[in-house]
Amino acid sequence: MSEHIDIAVNLIGSALEKNCDEVIQRAVAHGVSPLIVIGSDLNESQQAITLCQQYPKTLYSTAGTHPHQASQWDDTSADKIRVLAQAAEVVAIGECGLDYNRDFSPRAKQREAFRAQLALAVELKLPVLMHERDAHEDFLAILKEYRSGLTNALLHCFTGNRESMEAYLELDLHLGITGWVCDERRGLELAELVRDIPDDRILIETDSPYLLPRSMRPKPKSSKNEPQYLPYIAQYIATLREQNPTEFAAKTYQNSVKFFGL
């Protein structure tokens, strides 16, 4: 029986794609289903939809353009996402947002693509799945312009500070928490903050194949993260929040169902 929903899995264009059937089967065996497959650009979004069609009600997808790929954005991109979003498997627009940490795309182009996808989410009445890294001020300013029209908004893989967390919660965002919180080097601040995220605003994810929880013992032989490890992350977070793990799992499951309209 499914106990968890992994709200961000990079099955396409990653180290998991080659063996995605086995990854999905292992996830289901560990009570993790359905999985939300991330679309990071238009081609990847189409591939994600095609994959989801092979696993009905086990996989769902997003459709969008990640800030890393924002340089690909042009006058036809919004129309192409609009078409992709008609697929029954698409449950959110994204992954979209701003990333000033790596700057793989010019910042002006990132902002253009982000605005356009927020507008699209408003138009289509779909939730939006967002990414923000080292771009809090611009991200928040742009998001405020569209937030009132958005049905639901999720900042996935949240790793910010208390100030940014409070600003996002004030805008009624959902926050996705990953195995970053299990990292004794980088995750200490998040481990403190995660206690203060309201019960109805927290979602859990692996962001696999990235962010394998460092605290897992024994450590998986592979360095790749997988959805099958989400129960470990959930229990770790529940312990930090001093909540019953079963009750926490049930709450985050229902939060995910409600957010994505599953």
Does 89 show up as a binding residue in the annotation? no
Encoded tokens for 39:
């679309």
First to last CA, the chain: 16
- Where are any strands of DSSP class E within the chain? 4-9, 32-37, 59-63, 90-99, 128-133, 153-155, 174-177, 202-204
* 207 labelled binding-site residue: yes
| Contact of 31 with 250, CB cutoff 8 Å | no
Determine if residue 189 is labeled as part of a ligand binding site: no
Distance CA 40, CA 115 (A): 16
Residue 69's nearest CA partner among 105, 31, 15 is 105
Chain-centre distance of CA 19, in angstroms?
Answer: 21
3-state SS assignment for residue 8: strand
Contact 202, 175 (CB under 8 A): yes
Residues ≥6 apart with Cβ < 8 Å to 52 = 37, 59, 60, 61, 89
Residue 174 marked ligand-binding: no
- Angle between the N-to-C axes of helices 136-146 and 162-170, in degrees from 0 to 180, rounded to the nearest 10: 10
CB 217 within 8 A of CB 186: no
Binding residues for a divalent metal cation: 95, 131, 156, 207
Binding residues: 95, 131, 156, 207
